[in-house]
Structure 1
């Protein structure tokens, strides 16, 4: 799996320097940056603000919100000076990403309130690629980053965006900066850091499309697994996530999560949904654990946490689980998590209208 990191930040910033330094003698103050309302100079300084905020939050492990920090340029700084500061603060962020411990998260408002070190790297790369494009467009300069960088940020921050024929035009389209054949223009957009949901002894850590692809192919998805993990169900679920991503129907809130144990930071299993809620508000959940983590209540804890979060949403009326008749341990897990066995009529409807296999039992928990 290609994990996005500090080297990618440096590569993106180097591309920015190569594209913009030849035009430092131009007027940046009175020229808008592409489709933005900001000037080219203000857009370049925005990169400084973003890099400074990201690196300080990540290095400090800031989780409670934005730091009371403000940056400014020295009076009289010219365009060369602005780019020097972009380059320097980009290097600081790259260093913060490299030295941040695995699993550490810090505040970022969009959309789930935090990001890990890979998320901050991906956001910095995205900011750099897009705003270099904006400035270059305003100044009439040629610019196109590597396809690998564009693809990385798409799989890291845009799990809701169906991949297009080429990653860079897809990223421009997804952020309202271009057209893509067969797709409507984008006028409102957001990126998605992976969702993490804390429970008592484990954290449910959202699996990104890039990590899901690696898990499906037999990799570790970037997680440190205990012996015997990931189990077959997590790999299968990751494959379904990749298919949903490729079809453009993946919703991160209803994706797949690795169960990361607090005591040692190791992944012990997976849990997730089979897709977004249907028109009736039903959503199906599944889970598994590596053998060494079974019998300790982890599955019950994770299932209860994820189910209660789902049922708090307006678009979910019922969470369901389908379990084989002979799988008594899993039946006990769902029962301890507050699920009850469906009625005969409910099981008949699930089979006739929703395609549930005859060999499965239906368990439900309502809002």
Structure 2
């Protein structure tokens, strides 16, 4: 059903001139993340009128659970102002579409794959990937994390499940770990803490494909892959063997980091993986004593890079000791302080990332059917 059919169905659901008024009002309400009104975004799933009570059913294609209450209140207030409507009942749900890029076979039970990469190490890529996954889950999605850093896996420590050892119930696939509401798989589960994977590039790349395809993932809306730094064998194998829906680039503001981030963007562009946006980590530091904001690694590098490559700046994260302490202790910021400012920043990045995935998809993937009650 295309958007014209959707609009016609809405018109048939309500009597004129009320249908025109409802359509007009819904067309004035913008979803800021999708940069579309509710009608154009295909979010209206059900409309019915019971006397003077207007019943509205909406489905959001990206996780934003923390905003449900605010959105419902805003919508009901806007529609209740229309003449002939005394009450509005609004239901809001989540339906994450499956975004496919290229002709690579999908991963069983996985709707979308988001790669988190960086041109260089030390910019907080893994910390960002783990907190992004946790933020997507906190916003209502089903999420998994794959630690693709074969040589230096850190996800097990960050999620506090480093003692987990995978088991196989069918002799073919491995069960992932489950921590803080997300599924996880890592080479770190296969080796002891003091050992290292001493492999050449092709061997490491092959191990990554094995981790992806031989893990018994549960039903996931998003699989977040924490990439190793650089633009080598593992990155190329990922683009050729794994159906990556989009990539997030992590950088710090300083020129040496943004220069490498630009190389990462170029690499993903060359292998036809859409870049969903840039996260500027360690963007600023707030003094504990006076509250002043400082920029120890420079200012504006992430924004400048985003503008240069015409991609969104998904967010700016502070340089804060609690972020480091959280991942070191197995309780990242999103779960350690779910109502804190840092967790809220990660949730905002998660919403923007998931919405960017929708915006770069083909329009037909967002088609819906309206159910009239």
TM-score category of the 2 structures, normalised to the smaller one: under 0.3
Larger relative helix fraction: 1
Superposition TM-score, scaled by structure 2 size: 0.27
Superposition TM-score, scaled by structure 1 size: 0.28
Higher RCO (C-alpha 8 Å, min separation 6)? 2
Larger relative strand fraction: 2
